[in-house]
A and B are shown apart, each in its own frame.
Chain A
Amino acid sequence: MSSQPITILIAALGGEGGGVLAEWLVELALRAGHPAQATSIPGVAQRTGATTYYVEIHPQTHAELGGRAPVMSLSPVPGCLDLMVASELLEAVRAIQNGHVSPERTRLVCSTHRTLTTFEKLAPGDGRYDSTRLLEVARRYSRECAAFDVDATAREAGTVPSAVLFGAIAASGVLPFDPAAFEEIIRDSGRGVEASLKGFALAFERCRAAGGVHAAVAVPRSGVPGTQSAPAPALCVPSGTPDLVSLGHARVVEFQDAAYGELFTQRVERLRAVARRFGVDGDAGLVSEGGRYLALWMAFDDVIRVADLKSRAARFARVAEEAGARPGDLLRIADHLKPGLVELAGLLPPALANRLLDWESSRRDAKRWRRRDGATPLAMPLKLRADSILGFLALRLLGALRPLRRIGRRYAEEQELIEHWLVCIEAAPSLEVALELALCARMVKGYGATNERAKENFRSIINSLKSSDPADIRRAREAALAEESGTALDAALTQAGAPPRAVKAVPVRWVKRTGTAT
């Protein structure tokens, strides 16, 4: 029998019970009479940061060793692991990137689910790391990879990830102990034993079922979508994708009425005509992708739309389910709304609305002179009880204002910008440019100030790059969707040769100082 220790590295997020898991493994070994050691670097990583726990178990018992004590390593040795366990997919790959996992030696047990990092969540677009690629690396660089959803398994069993990973470790067969011995440890832990045992059993089964996927059967690399942007549409529609134009039409009709749907269809036809002008008969991406964003834009989120969506019967059921309400529980739903003067003005005819907004703007200027603190726009913060009769009626009434939408300022403003966008697409020098300009509509989203900033970015690209290289437009769009401050977009615009954007006024307040000469 080998006299080298069995080595296990556990990658987990703080608070997932990795420490308990390491403790269980040591206890398991001690009970069977094997020397064992575990270390960790918890520190502040306990606060949901990434951390690791390292365990060594000697394959021989104290009795077999006859008093000799092995010297064990306190830190994992890259390439010398027998088992790598990860409660989250990205953390498995981080350990692989750090060199810990050996394709010749290391069995990998990892979760397929992702707990997104803050970094991935920040982008105004989609900043999520591509899971397909992560899984592909996990499989290629391990001797054997058993991947299953640890998080879902834990929730299904009503337990924590540590119990599930314990089951997965038992199933990996790396340790010379019976599953019964593992279960004994859980039984003696004394807390949430039944749920932990259930999680253990589920994981054991799933790990066995998922195992045996060898590196040779890796996921093919082709067809891996990009991470920072939506898949670049192919020049012909692949079969099996939903018919975006029909979906879009339905969305627009639902938003307003059949006539508005007719307007949508006419606009889609204009996109089709552009494609045809460049010799493409059919979709050419421009129609489906352009139609997608056209529909989302035409069904813009105004007060009426929000009230309508929030007062639907299906919503109450969905909220109850998400909140984990059981039969017999009562639900109280409070919607955090803050309708402002701008939103109200958006419903009024443009002339009236503009007068109202002018008044508001002069009020804020006056206030800014008188007082030092920020003069915020007029708005009413509401916690509307959607489950109360009055609250619900208020939403329903607001939703019923739909026919009035067409006379409103917001409606006019959106149609104007949509028309401008379509005209730019129609004037595009090539199909590629037309497509890139069409995709820019993805940027137009959000509410209030976010929406204004998004439209400003959108206008900058559409106006200054409308006849540029398609790659430049794509870069600028991706920059705008990657970060909020606009620095990346400015850089992309400059790189594309666009004139610098006007510097925006930023409030700066100097402090009155006694005795300062400068």
Chain B
Amino acid sequence: MEISFTREVDQLRQGAGTTFHGEGILAITKALLQSGVAYVGGYQGAPVSHLLDVMVQAEDYMAELGVHVEACSNEASAAAMLGASIHYPLRGAVTWKSVVGTNVAADALSNLASPGVVGGALIIVGEDYGEGASVIQERTHAFAMKSSLLLLDPRPQLPAMVRMVEHGFALSEVSNTPAILQLRIRACHVRGSFECKDNVSPAISRKALMESPARFDYERLSHPPSTFRHEKLKFEQRLPAARRYILEHGLNEVFGGRHEDIGIIVQGGLHNALVRALQQFTVADAFGAAEIPMLVLNVTYPLVPEQIADFCRGKRVVLVVEEGQPEFIEQEIATALRRMEIDTALHGKDLLPMAGEYNVEVIAEGLVKFLARHAAAVPLDAARDWLAANAARRQAVVAQLELPLPPRPPQFCVGCPERPVFSAIKQAQANVGPVHYAADIGCHSFATFEPFGFGHTILGYGMSLASRAGVSPMLGRRAMAVMGDGGFWHNGLLTGVESALFNQDDAVLLIMKNGYTSATGTQEIISTPDDEIKAAAENRQQSLVDRNHTIEDTLKGIGVGWLRTVPSYEVETMRRTLEEAFTTDYAGLKVIIAEGECQLERQRRTKPWIAGLLKAGKRVVKVRYGVDADTCSGDHSCIRLSGCPTLTLKDSGDPLKVDPVATVIDCCVGCGLCGENAHAATLCPSFYRVEVVKNPGLAERLLAGLRRGVIGMLAR
């Protein structure tokens, strides 16, 4: 990874008496070190990538502390890593994006939760839910319940988040139960402050090794008959121990208010939004003091029935503010109240929406219904007027706009080596007819958006090839699966390639070999070109992924008989190769590797290099593309094959031509796709490639002078 986290690494070193200022996820990382964590693992994914990225770069400091950091190959391997805490008093933390990562990790998690842990085990999950989320909308909560894992959902303020990390380890140890700390997207990215403590070097560590392995103990194996006892232990000993700790240490917070006959029970992560919603009713101030009592659940599983009962006793009614579906917490509270014969009325998902993010407006709408029914003393006018004004304004704006605003989804970066592959796929399908297209997770899923609109299914990370196994035998045409190298190593090699080979499937697999897991922040993988290769490359601008053959060697080794590697910018070759794969008589698995290094990484490497050359007065060639406006007919076929942000439109500048013409704007990195498409699709003659030579040599200056002279005489 070319991006540097030097500043963040320095922040991790902060000691007691200093104040940390920064992002939530970095605060969590610091809290792990303050808690004496011994090993850290995980798999990258927004919004928690930062945790692992910073730790990997903090290699030297981690060695100083004796902490081991592992970039795992997927979430299952990260979850399995927590197995270290089953026998040994080691505090371990792993991280991933949820719910998808938790799905992948589920097998190991079940087998971890059953024997339980002696060293604190903490799983930091980025709950990718609501606005800005990129995955299916499900709750991690279900996993906590089914495997009896602790689920922490702290108030989204840095001091509260840090406190819950520290308590999380202790809670995990006291209850022998792994804990999940759930952070919503905005909580990961929130910038705030907390007062630091000193980091703690773990007692057992890479610096202080254990002498021998633990003695054999059948009870620590998730294997029958131990598993039967484990299940009982969970409910007889572990969860009760956790509940005691939660109560004793005040992990859940009760805030009083003058309307004592009603109350609100809220997930910790939603506390800030709830306070802001109450402010719309003028029943809360800027500091969180509210007139309605609140029970804030910083631990959402397990609940503590006595605490729920204490809060509800004497109240006519409580409202549960719980995001996502189904309403696990509300059901658990209802059961607890019913069992204890407490007749406080309960509301939740009957007044608040079942699905979707609970932002301030959504919560306020639910509060209007709740308070109107149960709290005559609370004035509703201000909130109602505000909500009505919002709705009216939205409607008026839509009416005035007449046409809907075009969406702006993310797209391939300028110069992305994957874009040309999709141009080629579009052209190949035009020539040999459409194919079934199994899509995958990664940057290449942006091909589902315009101008490509590709993909029949997305079944998970690395699952594309496996997801067409039932389609291929039923279709008279070929099915194609597209997968990134990230997905290939995460899952695709086994679930897809091995299965297809074993079953002698007739399918086409296209692997985007860009060298990194780019969509999650360009983390390195086993097929990333080595740093030595990058340092030795004479031209830092060129793609270097062809120097690493791990993917090709693996595929050959496992028995792939039809394998082609095509540089992704050779659109014409790629089109021909695809057409061949779609039509060849070879009936087995056909794999095409599209080779082109992630442009983000290349640019990060190139920019300082070019700047250095220019500063030293050395010769530099800058390439970019352009369109001759007077030969562009304004049909925009080039854009329909590319979608590059720098290939856009401008007024024609010709009073006769009404339609805008294509133009290439400044950020063009000269990737060459415009020219390749112009040739491969026989588009139009308007594209030109221009090389600007800075600090040219004498010979080329003389030659250029001669050319200019001759052309100047003859041009009209």
Contacts and interface: CB of A to CB of B under 8 A. Distances in A.
Which of A99, A230, A316: most chain B CB closer than 10 A?
A99
Contacts of B645: 48, 115
A49 B409 contact: yes
Interface in B694-711: 694, 696, 700-701, 704, 706-707, 710-711
Interface stretch (A167-175, A204-212, A271-279, A508-516): A508-516
A26 to B, nearest CB: 5
Nearest to A396: B714
B88 interface: no
A309 B630 contact: yes
A43 B688 contact: no
A194 interface: no
A309 B401 contact: no
A301 B633 contact: yes
B656 A511 contact: no
B576 interface: yes
Interface in B74-98: none
B145 interface: no
Contact of A387 (B683, B696, B707): B707
Contacts of A379: 682
Nearest to A230: B658
B340 interface: no
Given A336-B685, A374-B431, A514-B587, A117 B406 contact: yes
A30 B22 CA distance: 12
A79 interface: yes
Contact of A137 (B186, B288, B401, B622): B401
Interface string A439-479: 00010011111110010000000000000000000000000
B519 A44 contact: yes
A117 B408 contact: yes
A121 B636 contact: yes
Interface stretch (A34-42, A256-264, A355-363, A489-497): A34-42
Interface string A287-320: 0000010011000010001100111110110010
Contacts of B186: 39-41, 74-75
B359 interface: yes
A47 B640 CA distance: 19
Nearest to B21: A30
Contacts of B716: 311-313
Interface in A124-155: 124-126, 128-129, 133, 136-137, 140-141, 155
Interface residues of B, number: 133
A445 B579 contact: no
Give the residue among B408, B633, B692, B693 with the most A Cβ atoms within 10 A. Answer: B408
A403 interface: no
B402 to A, nearest CB: 8
B443 interface: yes
A435 interface: no
Interface stretch (A86-94, A176-184, A344-352): A86-94
B433 A506 contact: yes
Given A47-B411, A333-B689, 4 more contacts: A4-B279, A44-B410, A74-B273, A251-B656
Residue from the set A15, A315, A446 with the largest chain B CB neighbour count within 10 Å: A446
B187 A74 contact: yes
B666 interface: yes
Interface in A209-250: 227, 230, 242, 244, 247-248
Contacts of B583: 372-373, 509, 511
A448 B682 contact: yes
A421 to B, nearest CB: 17
Nearest to A129: B406
Given A42-B189, A73-B360, A510 B476 contact: yes
A449 B682 contact: yes
B326 interface: no
Interface stretch (A64-72, A407-415, A423-431): A64-72
Contact of B659 (A58, A125, A448): A125
A331 B691 contact: yes
B380 interface: no
A517 interface: no
A420 interface: no
Contacts of B276: 71, 73, 77
A454 B659 CA distance: 14
A383 B623 CA distance: 14
Contacts of A51: 132
B287 A446 contact: no
Interface string A313-339: 101100100111110111111111110
A333 B711 CA distance: 13
A316 B708 CA distance: 10
B675 A122 contact: no
Given A323-B690, A329-B694, A309 B628 contact: yes
A319 B405 contact: no
B446 interface: yes
Contacts of B666: 155, 324
Interface string A12-47: 011100000011001000100000111111111111
Contact of A48 (B285, B410, B649, B715): B410
Contacts of B305: none
A432 interface: no
Given A30-B21, A99-B390, A447 B192 contact: no
B433 A323 contact: no
A42 B189 CA distance: 8
A329 B679 contact: no
A121 B191 contact: no
The interface centre, meaning the residue of B410, B428, B443, B710 with most chain A CB atoms within 10 A of its CB, is B410
A340 B678 CA distance: 13
Given A22-B191, A93-B405, A336-B688, A509 B640 contact: no
B682 A340 contact: yes
B213 interface: no
A97 B410 contact: no
8 contacts: A38-B190, A70-B286, A71-B287, A74-B273, A75-B131, A79-B389, A336-B688, A507-B433
B616 interface: no
Interface in B554-591: 572, 575-576, 579-580, 582-585, 587
Nearest to B675: A336
A37 B712 CA distance: 61
Nearest to A322: B626
A75 B360 contact: yes
Contact of B411 (A49, A337, A396, A448): A49
B350 interface: no
A481 B674 CA distance: 23
Contact of B640 (A126, A325, A373, A484): A484
B360 A338 contact: no
Contact of B450 (A118, A330, A450): A118
A389 interface: yes
